[in-house]
Amino acid sequence: MERERGTGGMEAGELGDVADALRELGDEARESVARLADELELERRMAESPMVVLGVAAAAGLVLGGGLWPLLRPMVRMAARAALSPTNLLALGAAVGAMRAARAREATSGAGPEGSSVPSTH
């Protein structure tokens, strides 16, 4: 006895289950959006200042849609190029070495910042 197969190799009963689950998910999503709109008092805000709501929605769409990346790409490239330049890497290495040497000097002398012999100016 062979079972009837639907699209994608799924049985007919499984397709119905998937369709029901998707329908329920859609209903839950609509309810969540309605609750969010109620919490944000979206209708009142739209009535009071529709241009502000439109601006916020446009900005959110731009950010979520990746619209800022073309504008930010040149700045990110310049910052990465500057940070990874040989001169800056040498300076960073020298700074790390100086900090390690200072810590080692404090550890061997036993005098940390609290036990320093420099008189207080208070």
Residue-level pLDDT at 111: 57
Residue-level pLDDT at 103: 92
| Radius of gyration for the chain, computed over Cα atoms and rounded to the nearest angstrom | 31
Query: Do 82 and 88 contact (CB within 8 A), yes or no?
Result: yes
Residue-level pLDDT at 1: 44
Query: Do 62 and 68 contact (CB within 8 A), yes or no?
Result: yes
Residue-level pLDDT at 101: 93
Residues 79-113 have pLDDT tens digits of 888 888 888 888 888 999 999 999 999 888 865 55
- Give the tokens for residue 44: 């009142």
- Written as tens digits, the pLDDT of the chain (122 aa) is 445 555 555 666 677 788 888 899 989 989 988 888 888 887 888 888 889 989 988 988 888 787 878 888 898 899 888 888 888 888 888 999 999 999 999 888 865 555 555 555 55
Query: Bridge partners of 5?
Result: 11
Provide the terminal-to-terminal Cα distance of the chain, rounded to the nearest Å: 96
Residue-level pLDDT at 2: 47
Provide the Cα torsion 97, 102, 107, 109; round to 10°: 140
Consecutive H or E run containing 41: none
Listing DSSP states for 73-119 in one string gives HHHHHHHHHHHTSHHHHHHHHHHHHHHHHHHHHHHHH---STT--SP
